[in-house]
C-alpha cells in the first residue's frame, strides 16, 4: 500500500497503459515502485514517445490496482478519492497526469487536500468533478426509453462525458422490474439490465451514415401511441404566457433535444383545449363561477327572499356558472 511518498529520483518515463482505470492505478504503482516520475501517461493506442524519456508500457494488474486504491484512503477521504475516478471518466486530455499530480500532492502533504483551492491541480479536479455530477444528473432526468416487441426498453444517449458507470446504480434501482438497455452512441457501448444484474455491453463500430435509432419494425406496436400521449401531456401542461426559452435552454441544453420524445416534431399542430368562455366581456375558465352581486346592505341580490317573504324577481345580472 501507499503508506509514504518515495522520492522519485530516477529519470522520467513515458508510461503507456490499456486506457482502463485499473490500468492507470497500476501505472501509479509502477511510478513509485520504479521511482521514475512520469513525463507522460498515455493509452497504448494513442501513445507518442518523447525524445528524452524512456517508454514504459505497463500491464494492468488487478491486485496492484486494488492496493493503490485502498492505500489512497491513508491520504484522503472516500469522497476525494471518488473525485479521481470522476476525473478519469471526464476524458480530459490531461486526466492521467492530473490524477497523478493530485495523488502526489496528497502524499506529500499527508492530509486531505480537497479544500486546498489555492493549488491549480485541486481546482481542476474539483471543476471536472462538478461537471461530471451535472452531466450525471441530466442523464438520469433526460433518458427516454422506447419499448421493443421483445419487451426490452431501449434508450440512446450522447453525453459529453462517460457517465454510464455513474448512472448504472440509479437505473438498476428505479427500473428493477423491466429489461432495459442504455446505449452511449458516442462511445459505442451500453448498460444492459436483464432483471438480475447490470452489465456493460460493447457494440460494433457503426456503419457510416447509418442511424443508431431503433428501427420502427422492432418497436412495440403501441410505442408511437405512447410517444403521442407523452407529447400531448407536455403540450397541455405548458403555459404559453410564462414562456422563457433562455431559461429553458439553460436547464435542458439543445444537445439533448434530439433524444427527447417531447422535443420531436408533431404530426398534427397542437390545439389547446377550448376551456374558456367569454361572458359579458369577461373570460371565465371552466369550473369557475361568478359570485352574485352584493345588495345595498351587503346581501346577495340573487337567491335571497324579500322582506315580505316573496321570492324577488330575477335580477338583470344573475349568477352565471360556466359550462364544464
Question: Could you report the per-residue pLDDT of 264-303, keeping only the tens digit for each?
Answer: 887 777 666 666 555 555 555 555 555 555 555 555 444 4
Which residues does residue 188 pair with via DSSP β-bridges, in sequence order? none
Residue length, the chain? Answer: 324
Identify whether the C-beta of residue 44 lies closer than 8 Å to the C-beta of residue 19. yes
Mean pLDDT of 78-91: 94
Q: Is the pLDDT of residue 198 over 80?
A: yes
Mean pLDDT of 91-97: 94
Degrees to nearest 5, angle at CA 261 with 257 and 266: 100
58-76 b/e (C-beta count within 10 Å ≥ 16 → b): bebbeebbebbbebbeebb
Q: What is the Cα–Cα distance from 184 to 2, expressed in whole angstroms?
A: 35
The set of cell numbers assigned to 7 is 522520492
Using alpha carbons, select from 2, 4, 214, 266 the residue that is nearest to residue 109.
4
Q: What is the Cα–Cα distance from 22 to 311, expressed in whole angstroms?
A: 90
Q: Is the pLDDT of residue 20 over 60?
A: yes
Q: Is the pLDDT of residue 257 over 80?
A: yes
Mean pLDDT of 49-64: 82
Mean pLDDT of 39-67: 83
Helix axes 62-71, 21-34, angle to 10 degrees: 80
Whole-number pLDDT of residue 312: 47
Q: Is the pLDDT of residue 77 over 50?
A: yes
Helix axes 21-34, 78-89, angle to 10 degrees: 110
Whole-number pLDDT of residue 281: 54
Percent of the chain with pLDDT over 70: 75
Q: Is the pLDDT of residue 192 over 90?
A: yes
Mean pLDDT of 192-200: 95
Q: Is the pLDDT of residue 58 over 80?
A: yes
Domain ranges of the chain: 10-134, 143-220, 222-272, 274-324
Q: Among 20-24, 59-63, 284-288, which is the least confidently predicted range?
A: 284-288
3-state class (DSSP) for residue 55: strand
Identify whether the C-beta of residue 154 lies closer than 8 Å to the C-beta of residue 183. yes
Percent of the chain with pLDDT over 90: 46
Question: Could you report the per-residue pLDDT of 216-246, keeping only the tens digit for each?
Answer: 567 767 777 778 888 888 888 888 888 898 9
Q: Is the pTM of this model over 0.75?
A: no
User: 28 or 298: whose pLDDT is higher?
Assistant: 28
The set of cell numbers assigned to 298 is 351587503
Amino acid at each position: 500500500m501507499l503508506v509514504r511518498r518515495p522520492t522519485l529520483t530516477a529519470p522520467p518515463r513515458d508510461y503507456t497503459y490499456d486506457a482502463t482505470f485499473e490500468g492507470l492505478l497500476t501505472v501509479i504503482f509502477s511510478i513509485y515502485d520504479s521511482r521514475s516520475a512520469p513525463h507522460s501517461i498515455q493509452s497504448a493506442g494513442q501513445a507518442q514517445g518523447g525524445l528524452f524519456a524512456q517508454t514504459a508500457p505497463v500491464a494492468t494488474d488487478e491486485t496492484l490496482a486494488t492496493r493503490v486504491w485502498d492505500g489512497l484512503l491513508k491520504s484522503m477521504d472516500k469522497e476525494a478519492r471518488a473525485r479521481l475516478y470522476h476525473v478519469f471518466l471526464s476524458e480530459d486530455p490531461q486526466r492521467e497526469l492530473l490524477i497523478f499530480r493530485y495523488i502526489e500532492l496528497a502524499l506529500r502533504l499527508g492530509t486531505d487536500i480537497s479544500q486546498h483551492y489555492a493549488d491549480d491541480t485541486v481546482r481542476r479536479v474539483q471543476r471536472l468533478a462538478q461537471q461530471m455530477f451535472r452531466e450525471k444528473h441530466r442523464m438520469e432526468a433526460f433518458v427516454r426509453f422506447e419499448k421493443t416487441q421483445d419487451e426490452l426498453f431501449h434508450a440512446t444517449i450522447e453525453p459529453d462525458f462517460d457517465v454510464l458507470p455513474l448512472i448504472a446504480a440509479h437505473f438498476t434501482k428505479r427500473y428493477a422490474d423491466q429489461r432495459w438497455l442504455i446505449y452511449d452512441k458516442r462511445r459505442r457501448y451500453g448498460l444492459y439490465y436483464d432483471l438480475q444484474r447490470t452489465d456493460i455491453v460493447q457494440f460494433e463500430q457503426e456503419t457510416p451514415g447509418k442511424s443508431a435509432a431503433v428501427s420502427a419494425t422492432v418497436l412495440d406496436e403501441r410505442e408511437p401511441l405512447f410517444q403521442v400521449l407523452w407529447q400531448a401531456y407536455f403540450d397541455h401542461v405548458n403555459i404559453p404566457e410564462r414562456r422563457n426559452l433562455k431559461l429553458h435552454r439553460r436547464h435542458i441544453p439543445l444537445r439533448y433535444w434530439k433524444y427527447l420524445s417531447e422535443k420531436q416534431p408533431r404530426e398534427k399542430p397542437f390545439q389547446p383545449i377550448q376551456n374558456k368562455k367569454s361572458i359579458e366581456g369577461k373570460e371565465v375558465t371552466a369550473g369557475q363561477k361568478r359570485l352574485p352581486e352584493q345588495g345595498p346592505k351587503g346581501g346577495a341580490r340573487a337567491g335571497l327572499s324579500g322582506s315580505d317573504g316573496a321570492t324577488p324577481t330575477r335580477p338583470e345580472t344573475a349568477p352565471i356558472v360556466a359550462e364544464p
